Every structure is written in structure tokens, then in C-alpha cells.
Amino acid sequence: MTSDPARAGRTRGATAAPTLHDVAARADVSLMTASRALSGSPKVREEKVKRVVAAAADLGYRRNENARSLRPGQRSGLIGVVITNASNPYYAELQLGAEQVLAGDGMRMLVGNTAEDLDRERRLVADFVGWQVDGLIVVPTGADSSHLAALAGLNIPLVLAARTVDELAVDTVLIDDLGGTRSAVHGLLEQGHTRIAFLGYGMSVPTSERRLRGFEEAHTEAGVPVDQHLVFSGSPAPDAAMRAAAELLQVPRPPSAVFCANNRNTVALMHALKNADIEHRRPQFRVVAFDNFDTADLMPIHLAVVDHDPREMGRTAARLLVERLHGERGAARTVELPTHFLS
Amino acid sequence: MTSDPARAGRTRGATAAPTLHDVAARADVSLMTASRALSGSPKVREEKVKRVVAAAADLGYRRNENARSLRPGQRSGLIGVVITNASNPYYAELQLGAEQVLAGDGMRMLVGNTAEDLDRERRLVADFVGWQVDGLIVVPTGADSSHLAALAGLNIPLVLAARTVDELAVDTVLIDDLGGTRSAVHGLLEQGHTRIAFLGYGMSVPTSERRLRGFEEAHTEAGVPVDQHLVFSGSPAPDAAMRAAAELLQVPRPPSAVFCANNRNTVALMHALKNADIEHRRPQFRVVAFDNFDTADLMPIHLAVVDHDPREMGRTAARLLVERLHGERGAARTVELPTHFLS
DNA sequence: TTGTACGCGTTATCAG
DNA sequence: CTGATAACGCGTACAA
């Protein structure tokens, strides 16, 4: 006699997903024995384990993770990953690195893109919380962080990646923007360049600040003043970098070198340089770029690069998160990943 | 008197996530009134709605989507997206396009990378089914498809993207590989090139076949024989394209043009051409490449490109899936997205 | 308009 | 070693 008359009488579509009931019935075992057999509990007779496993395979049974994580204290095994823009290879790599570590720990990833929109970030975080994520990795879009601060109250660990939010005391993974920039610019100054332009449009405010500070510190150390006419940075207007790159070559006393603070700026500059035929007109012109990319060594002018590893950033973020999930209780940690100068 | 003594007596951590119970208690309403108020049911007194909404906001209440979708007939609103490699901008864009459409329909995305590993694909699909996904978008890695075929039996709609699996009669989104390649190669033949190389390493078998067929058909139409010594394609050994690109310039009667069947091959060829200083040594040398990329117009030699839109592919896949979820029952559809030739 | 009872699929607990 | 039962948070069906 089945102990579940309700289910016995059901007339669901022939293709309803099989449940543990079905497996247990087929293996002629009780529900709990089936449950234990499938979750590898040691105290089940081996013969029954076999029967259950066979039945599950026959039926194509998949444990309903929803029901499982409904029980209190159960982890969902879900991690929310909120990035700003997956079409930027940088963040795509970050996502991939995070997945590498999380998958190794048996966790799955919910992914959302904010497109740098604070409102979408709020909605995504709220949704993910609704899905009972065990933790979140977020590339924060902006300064407002009340929705992120609220996570602490829910006991949901949070790791910030790529950017900080000052008010938030949480684990954070950054690149060594300042150091990487400083030593790259230091190199240019050592080579005797005294008029170096800074091209840094369309970046988040904190990142922009850190890279600009590195630029300035290198100058200070070398005793070379920064000419503010050579500092191009600001809002993310899509073609600001393009215009600035062209303009930069036309200023009264033009620079002999340029530091590009990220990928997009580098590409913009490359176009401008190609148009200006710099390669032949001013062979001494030097460019150093933050962020490496696939075709960097195919550019019309030689590019020295401040390289770093976004995938490692994702991995590190995931590792910090996993440590919290494993009970780590210490103060918030900030990891600065090193950069590598490729001349 | 509360109707839930069990909960009244609990001593969970002070920060356990608030449930509908908590909200109802705080608003001094019954559970169901709270539920209805929050899901916008019309039949609730407005004053109580306000109280409930306020209580929910105070508590930071988030509906537990797990519990919600546990009930039969309820959709989870979760879509599984299985791609081969998020670090390839192509698939990252695909993911982004899918998310665009799905988010617009109020659905969330579980994302997994297979790294072209059939086993990981199987595990991911199984996991996602366990999470009660409403549907799946998959870039299939290989020929074996039993795990995908099984989805039909579970009533879980599947859309394939970027690649087909012959045995599977499911909605599929592809690029017009054949047509795009044929017309591009046609152009080269019209310009009088009669010895055109095909460089196509490291691609999936079906895609590779389609592009090679386009290459051959263009030749047939023009009455020009294909010299098999100029066809370089095969396994995805990481540096095969590199070696072939170098070799290709050294064959007895070298080609006057090259068709690169994808991004990676193009970059490999560009390196070889730069080393060989083709730009100056053989200014008539022509290259046509499948897949556009950011810096295509900065390459050492002019590049004509067969462009297409991976994001649109993601959007289309998601649209097909959403239609199925909305009840579309027709036969499996295959959409071939057009390519655009940029000379 | 509001409230009660029940079940979704799973596992912890406790009794056999 | 095995099984019955309750409970997780929510929404449907029905009763008040």
C-alpha cells in the first residue's frame, strides 16, 4: 500500500518530472531510503542503494534543488554574479574565473548584467536574494550602496570586484591600478619623456582616480610637473576618447608619449595615430596602455602594456566568497592583484 | 494569537531572512492578505495593502522564489544558458543578447561554461534541470546529444545556438555561414584571384563544414578549381593556425588571397603577414575574414570582413525559447541570421 | 474582503 | 539499517 494516496491518484501530464516518490516506488523502497541512497548516506543496505540508483537512472530522476534548499539551514549552492557588461571581454573573463572556482565547489552561478545602471543593479540583487543565493559577487556600478549594505543584515556574504565602494566594509578584489600605472609612467619618464599625456575617458570614478594618481605620483617622484593640458579624462561619452585622441596630437606643445588608462582609450588612440601616420612622422612617439588585448602586438605603433589577469580576479573573488561561506569571520579583506609590465 | 506557534517559538539567528509570516505579523494581517497584497491581487483593502507594503519594506522582505516555484504548474522563471566559452567575445555577446530578451520577460539566467567538454555539458544540463529551469539555450559542444534529447521528455524547451546537432529536431539559430562565405569568396574570385587559401582551424565540425562548403561553392560557380594544398583546416591544436599561416606563404605556388574562417585564424594570419612584411612585399595580397573584431581596421593589412551579430543571435535564441514557453507548438524552426560583407 | 487547510519535493528527527 | 512524520515558505481552493 502506498503511503501517498494523493500522488497515487494524480493524473498529471504523462511527462511530469519524476520525483523521489516515483523513484522510491519503482525501487520498492521507502521515500527516506531512496533519499539516503541518493545522497550517499552510509547507512543503507548496498543492494537497496543499487536498486534506487537504477530506478533513478531509468526514470531520469533529477533532485529538485528548489525543494531541497527550501529547508532551513540548507544552502542553495547558488551564487549571484552581477557584472556591468558581459560584452566587455574584461568582465566576461571575470565571470569565467569566478565560475571556475565555484563550479569546483559544486556551486552554480546566476548571472546578471547591469549595463552600468544602478537601478538594474538594485533589481538584480533583490532578485538574486529572492532566489536564496548563498553569496554575491558584484562589480558595483556606482556610489549608492544601500542595497548592498542590506546584504550584511541578511547574512549573505558579498565580494566586490574591480571597484570599491568606500562606505562598504566587505571583501574586495582590485587591480593594483596605482602601482601598475606609476611604474609604467616611471619608465617613460626615465626614458626622458617629459610631456606625457593621460587618456582616460569612460571609466568608473574610483578606478580613474587610482590610475590618475599613479600617473601623478610617478611625475612627482621624477620631479617632472604634470601639464594639466595633457590630462584627458572624464565622462563616458562614447566618442570622447576618440575626439581627445585626435585633439591630443594638436595641442601647442604636443606630448612625446601617451599613457592610455584602458582598452577603449587605447583603441581610440590607435585610430588617431594611424590617421596621423605617426609611425613614420614621429618614430620616437611612445604609447603605454593599461589592459592587454588580443591584437596588441599588431597595432600600427609599438605598444607597451600594463597587463593583468581578469580571470584571476574572478577566481580570487570567488575564493574570498567561498571562504566566507566556509565560516571565515575576520574583518573585510582587500586584495590587490599585481600587474605585469610588458614592454 | 498567532496561527503559527511553531514559528512563534523559533530562535533562529537574529538575521534570518524575513518570511511572509514576519511581514504579515508586522502588518497585523493574515498570511494570505499579505500574500495577496504583495502580488497585486485587486481584492484587498487599500489600507491593508499599504500596511503590508510598508512592513515588507521595513523588514527588507524578499519573496522566496524557491518556495514559490515549488508549487506545481508554477514556472521558475529560470533559464539555463550553456555556452562553450565566455572568454570568447562571441559567446559573451550571445549571452548578453539572451539576457536582454529574458530580462525583459522577467526571467533570470543560470549560466555555465563547458569549455567544449561534452561531460561538463551533460553535468550542467542535469544541474539546470534540477534547478527547474523553464528552458535551455545551449551551444552544443559535440555530436552526442542523448542528454539534450531527454529534455523533450521533460517538457523543457531547448534552443540550440551557433551550432546544430543533426539528430535533434529543435529550434536552432545559426549564422548563414555558407552564404556569407560564398559571397565573400565570390568577390575575391571576381577580382581575379584564382589561388585562394582557406584557413580554418579549431572550429566545430558542422560550422567548419558549412564555411568550407561556401568556399567550394563559390569556386564551382566561378569555374575555378580548389587546390587542396591551399585548404588548411582541422583539429583545434592551439597553434595549428599559427603554423599553417606561416606555412601557407611558403607553398610552391603561394596564394594571392586568404579566406580566414574565424577570428583566431585571422589573428594568426595577421602575425604571419606582419612577420613576412607582406604589406610592402606583396601589396596586392588580399585577406577576407569571417567574424569582425574591435581592431580589425587597425591590422597591418587591409581586412575585408564577413560581419555578423552574435548579440542578435542570443536575442533570437531567447525569443524562440520565450515563444515556446508561451505555448508555441509548431515544428522545430531554424533561423539563419544574415551576414554583412564589409569591404 | 479575509482567513484556513493543504500540498508542492525534500530532508532531519526520531521511533522501530 | 529503515520508515513515518513534520516542516521549510508560498499560493490555490474553498469556507467564512
Min Cα distance B221 → chain A (Å) is 35
Instruction: Please give the distance of CA B86 from its chain centroid, rounded to a whole number.
Output: 9
> What is the structure's pLDDT at B204?
82
Closest-approach residue (CA) in chain B for A18: B154
All residues of chain B having their beta carbon less than 8 Å from the beta carbon of residue A76 are 66
Better-predicted residue by pLDDT, B153 or B188? B188
With H, G, I as helix, E, B as strand and everything else as coil, classify residue B71: coil
DSSP string, A205-234: HHHHHHHHHHHHHHHHHHT----GGGEEEE
CB–CB contacts below 8 A, A to B: 156
Mean pLDDT of chain B: 89
All residues of chain B having their beta carbon less than 8 Å from the beta carbon of residue A67 are 66, 70
Min Cα distance A319 → chain B (Å) is 18
> What is the structure's pLDDT at B15?
56
Q: Answer yes or no: is B2 CB < 7 A from strand C.
A: no
Q: What are phi and psi of B70, to 5 degrees?
A: -70, -30
CB nearest to A131's CB, from B15, B16, B65 = B65
Mean pLDDT of chain A: 89
User: Is residue A276 very low, low, confident or very high in pLDDT (cuts 50, 70, 90)?
Assistant: confident
Q: Any chain A CB within 8 A of the CB of B329? A: no
All residues of chain B having their beta carbon less than 8 Å from the beta carbon of residue A129 are 17, 62
Strand A108-113 to A78-83 pairing: parallel
The CA distance from B216 to B223, in Å, is 10
The number of beta carbons lying within 10 Å of the beta carbon of residue B128 is: 26
Q: Any chain B CB within 8 A of the CB of A238? A: no
The number of beta carbons lying within 10 Å of the beta carbon of residue B284 is: 10
> What is the structure's pLDDT at A81?
96
The CA distance from A223 to A190, in Å, is 11
The CA distance from B88 to A42, in Å, is 43
DSSP string, B126-154: HHHHHTT-SEEEE---SS--HHHHHHHHT
Is residue A147 within 8 A of residue A307, CB to CB? The reply is no
Closest-approach residue (CA) in chain B for A267: B295
Q: Which amino acid is at A334?
A: T
Q: Answer yes or no: is B71 CB < 7 A from strand C.
A: yes
Percent of chain B with pLDDT over 90: 54
> What is the structure's pLDDT at A148?
94
User: Is residue A5 very low, low, confident or very high in pLDDT (cuts 50, 70, 90)?
Assistant: very low
Is residue B203 within 8 A of residue B298, CB to CB? The reply is no
pTM across the whole model: 0.89
Angle at the Cα of B207 (from B205 to B210), degrees rounded to 5?
A: 110
For residue B73, pLDDT beyond 90:
no
Average pLDDT over residues A162-178: 93
> What is the structure's pLDDT at A258?
96
Sign of the Cα torsion B76, B127, A92, B89 reads negative
User: Is residue B6 very low, low, confident or very high in pLDDT (cuts 50, 70, 90)?
Assistant: very low
Question: What tens digit of pLDDT does each residue of B253-285 get?
Answer: 999 999 999 988 999 999 999 888 888 888 889
> What is the structure's pLDDT at A200?
93
Average pLDDT over residues A141-157: 87
The CA distance from A52 to A47, in Å, is 9
All residues of chain A having their beta carbon less than 8 Å from the beta carbon of residue B300 are 298, 300
What CA–CA distances, in Å, run from B103 to A49, A125, A280?
Answer: 42, 13, 50
Residues with Cβ within 8 Å of residue A243, at least 6 apart in sequence = none
All residues of chain B having their beta carbon less than 8 Å from the beta carbon of residue A115 are none
The CA distance from A229 to A254, in Å, is 10
The CA distance from A114 to A156, in Å, is 20
- Chain B segment 145-174 residues within 8 A of A by beta carbon are 150, 153-155
Q: Answer yes or no: is A39 CB < 7 A from strand C.
A: yes
Sign of the Cα torsion A156, A333, A85, B125 reads negative
Question: What tens digit of pLDDT does each residue of A76-124 get?
Answer: 899 999 999 877 788 989 999 999 999 999 899 999 999 889 999 999 9
Sign of the Cα torsion B94, B95, B101, B104 reads negative
Q: How many CA atoms lie within 13 A of B54 on its CB side?
A: 10
Q: To probe the interface with A, which of B95, B100, B109, B111 has the most A CB atoms within 10 Å? A: B111
DSSP string, A93-130: HHHHHHHHHHHHTT-EEEEEE-TT-HHHHHHHHHHHHH
Is residue B253 within 8 A of residue B225, CB to CB? The reply is no
CB nearest to B60's CB, from A96, A99, A154 = A154
For residue A291, pLDDT beyond 60:
yes
- Chain A segment 92-131 residues within 8 A of B by beta carbon are 92-93, 95-96, 99, 103, 108-113, 126-131
Is residue A259 within 8 A of residue A196, CB to CB? The reply is yes
For residue B13, pLDDT beyond 70:
no
Q: State the residue for C-alpha cell 557588461.
A: A85
Question: What tens digit of pLDDT does each residue of B19-61 get?
Answer: 898 888 888 888 888 888 888 777 778 888 888 888 888 888 8
> What is the structure's pLDDT at A15?
59
State whether B267 and A294 contact (CB < 8 Å). yes
State whether A127 and B108 contact (CB < 8 Å). yes
Q: Which protein residues have Cβ within 7 A of any strand D atom?
A: A 3, 29-33, 36, 42-45, 48, 67, 70-72; B 6-7, 10, 16-17, 19-21, 31-32, 35, 38-39, 63-64, 67-68, 70-71, 74
> What is the structure's pLDDT at A45?
87
Cell reading at A298: 599588431
- The one-character DSSP state at A296 is G
The number of residues making up chain B comes to 343
All residues of chain B having their beta carbon less than 8 Å from the beta carbon of residue A89 are 87, 89, 92
Least confident of A139-148, A155-164, A215-224, B36-45: B36-45
DSSP string, A140-171: --SS--HHHHHHHHTT--EEEESS--TT--SE
Is residue A48 within 8 A of residue A33, CB to CB? The reply is yes
Residues with Cβ within 8 Å of residue B10, at least 6 apart in sequence = none
> What is the structure's pLDDT at A318?
98
Q: Any chain B CB within 8 A of the CB of A300? A: yes
Q: How many CA atoms lie within 13 A of A171 on its CB side?
A: 22
Average pLDDT over residues B72-86: 87
CB nearest to B17's CB, from A89, A154, A293 = A154
Q: What are phi and psi of A172, to 5 degrees?
A: -145, 140
With H, G, I as helix, E, B as strand and everything else as coil, classify residue A87: coil
